[in-house]
Structure 1
């Protein structure tokens, strides 16, 4: 039986704008993959050889992570804590 309440991978933060830690296994896989790819980037794009390339690589991964959070997380908006909406 389908639910009317969507299942978000990333809940909204209580204070501020953005998302908190994942609440589903899918979200945790996304975060673990992000960190694994950052560590792999140390070997694939060594920062000792080209710091701009490594920074670009990490920025690209961060853009992808943000896009996934945007698509699979609660809609972002500024929050002030005790919000009943």
Structure 2
């Protein structure tokens, strides 16, 4: 019986490079957590006070999300849509 640990949280996009919408609840939890932290950042690190700090916060969150997609998602490569 195959293990469920091999499931990809983020499947590859059909066209282009990168990942599409999450395929598992873990992927959706990561994506919703990302959006919740972005919204929280508007209040914790207001862009009106320091746009540079806010931009650094958003960049850090994006780097973490990309790392999770890289580790738990399908290996990225350029796709032309005709993979069968």
Query: TM-score w.r.t. structure 1 length?
Result: 0.93
Q: Alpha carbon RMSD of aligned pairs, Å?
A: 1.5
Mapped pair 1:69 → 2:65? no
How many residue pairs get aligned? The number is: 84
Q: CA deviation at 1:82?
A: 1.0
Distance 1:74 1:68 in 2: 11
Q: CA deviation at 1:4?
A: 8.9
- List alignment gaps of at least 5 residues for structure 1: none
Match of 1:11 in 2: 11
- List alignment gaps of at least 5 residues for structure 2: none
Moved over 4 A (4+): none
Query: TM-score w.r.t. structure 2 length?
Result: 0.95
